[in-house]
């Protein structure tokens, strides 16, 4: 049984708690949030102890924790990931890793020194439709990729604690909060580009819409993300990938293959897991990639293996490329990726 201390009981802390409700090999032993009511709500469902100070949770050895799950606002990731590692605990840290490479490197050093296992929640690598895309590309089912387009759009995120998401110094704006999902997946799918060229819309919330061309030798790759859409615009994440023999597209109606020989388009069904949990208030499929992500990490811990789908270095690279994209948008220049 893996014993978890969950720090941050907001939107993502609640999501992670729902995932834990479905997993038999985990016990949420402690929940911490500055806002006691939020921590209590999750703690009641999980039978966990409540904290309002993360340091107190980390100092309580009677909890016998194996893992700290950090669902705090992004600017706090480095402080508490380092403290958790220094306490000898494995760390699951929500994405993005951190907002600058110094903070990322501090976390990596702390984790290496303590010899604990870290995973950053780059959840798109675990999202069913994106998993199919990765598999189809790896198998070469439709030949090689020639070009790809990704998009992620939403209204302004106004739910956060103290509106931290709207403060670019604390969230990194739409580039770090949304766009990094696609940047990370592009690196996973296609490797590192030679350079990036970005344009962006900047407003009082920082870069609230960014569009990037990832410059590869023989590939045409673009991704855009923005949270500057009207309040009634539904969140959407889409892609279109051009293979030699077909186009694979994630559309509103699902994952569709458009064969290159002119045959009728067909959909690829994602198998649903309708197991329910009253504590989670829904079924496993409602949890999308978050279930796959956390299950994978816990399985790695049980086997004593380091996660391979997301590594500290891959999460670091996603931060480095996102920083290059922001630099490009601000300077109007192509920025090389080292
Ligand atoms: N993987 C994804 O798809 C995804 C989606 C949304 C958010 N996130 C990430 O998850 C993280 C959390 O985002 P969120 O949307 O849950 O934010 P949120 O504002 O809903 O939750 C953050 C919680 O942290 C608490 N908190 C703030 N400072 C604290 C402190 N010092 N000690 C204890 N508690 C404190 C707040 O009270 C709040 O409940 C961010 O890094 C965000 O980027 C990831």
What percent of the chain has pLDDT above 70? 98
Give the three-state DSSP class for 75: helix
Distance (Å) of CA 181 to CA 94, 120, 219: 12, 12, 20
Whether residue 281 is predicted with pLDDT greater than 70 in this model: the reply is: no
Q: Which of 190, 188, 125, 184 is nearest to 321 (CA)?
A: 184
The domains of the chain, with CATH numbers, are 2-122 (3.40.50.720), 124-336 (3.30.360.10)
The rounded distance, in Å, linking the Cα atoms of 293 and 102 is 26
- Ligand 1 pocket test: which of 72, 74, 91, 235 has the largest number of ligand atoms within 8 Å of its C-beta? 72
The alpha carbon of 337 and the centre of ligand 1 are apart by a number of angstroms equal to: 30
Could you give the count of Cα atoms lying within 13 Å of 195 in the half-sphere of its Cβ? 8
> How does pLDDT run across 93-133, given as a tens digit for each residue?
999 999 999 999 999 999 999 999 999 999 999 999 999 99
- Ligand 1 pocket test: which of 8, 33, 51, 318 has the largest number of ligand atoms within 8 Å of its C-beta? 8
> How does pLDDT run across 284-303, given as a tens digit for each residue?
777 889 999 999 999 999 99
> How does pLDDT run across 128-185, given as a tens digit for each residue?
999 999 999 999 999 999 999 999 999 999 989 999 999 999 999 999 999 999 999 9
Average pLDDT value for the chain: 96
Bridge-based pairing state of the strands 67-70 and 2-7:
parallel
- Give the predicted TM-score (pTM) of the model: 0.97
Give the residue whose CA is nearest to atom 36 of ligand 1.
161
The residues that bridge with 192 in the sheet, in sequence order, are none
What is the atom index within ligand 1 of the atom nearest the CA of 161? 19
- Contact call for residues 30 and 51 (beta carbons, < 8 A): yes
């Amino acid at each position: 049984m893996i014993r978890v201390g969950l720090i941050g009981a907001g939107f993502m802390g609640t999501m992670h708690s729902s995932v834990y409700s479905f997993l038999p090999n985990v016990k949420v032993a402690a929940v911490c949030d500055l806002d006691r009511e939020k921590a209590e709500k999750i703690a009641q469902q999980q039978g966990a102890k409540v904290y309002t100070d993360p340091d107190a949770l980390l100092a309580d050895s009677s909890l016998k924790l194996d893992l700290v799950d950090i669902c705090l606002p992004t600017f706090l990731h480095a402080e508490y990931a380092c403290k958790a590692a220094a306490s000898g605990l494995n760390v699951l840290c929500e994405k993005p890793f951190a907002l600058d490479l110094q903070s990322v490197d501090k976390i990596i050093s702390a984790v290496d020194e303590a010899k604990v296992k870290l995973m950053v929640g780059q959840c798109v690598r675990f999202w069913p439709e994106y998993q199919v895309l990765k598999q189809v590309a790896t198998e070469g089912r439709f030949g090689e990729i020639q070009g790809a387009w990704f998009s992620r759009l939403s209204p302004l995120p106004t739910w956060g604690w103290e509106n931290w998401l709207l403060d670019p110094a604390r969230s990194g704006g739409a580039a770090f909060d949304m766009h990094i999902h696609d940047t990370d997946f592009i690196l996973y799918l296609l490797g590192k580009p030679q350079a990036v060229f970005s344009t962006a819309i900047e407003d009082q919330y920082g870069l609230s819409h960014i569009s990037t061309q990832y410059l590869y030798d023989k590939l045409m790759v673009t991704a855009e993300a923005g949270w500057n859409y009207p309040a009634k615009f539904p969140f959407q994440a889409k892609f279109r990938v051009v293979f030699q023999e077909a186009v694979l597209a994630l559309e509103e109606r699902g994952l569709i293959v458009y064969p290159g020989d002119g045959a009728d388009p067909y959909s690829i069904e994602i198998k649903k897991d309708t197991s329910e949990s009253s504590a989670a208030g829904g079924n496993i499929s409602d949890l999308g990639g978050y279930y796959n992500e956390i299950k994978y990490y816990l399985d790695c811990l049980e086997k004593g293996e380091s996660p391979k789908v997301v590594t500290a270095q891959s999460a670091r690279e996603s931060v480095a490329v996102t920083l290059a994209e922001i630099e490009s948008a601000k300077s109007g220049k192509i920025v090389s990726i080292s």
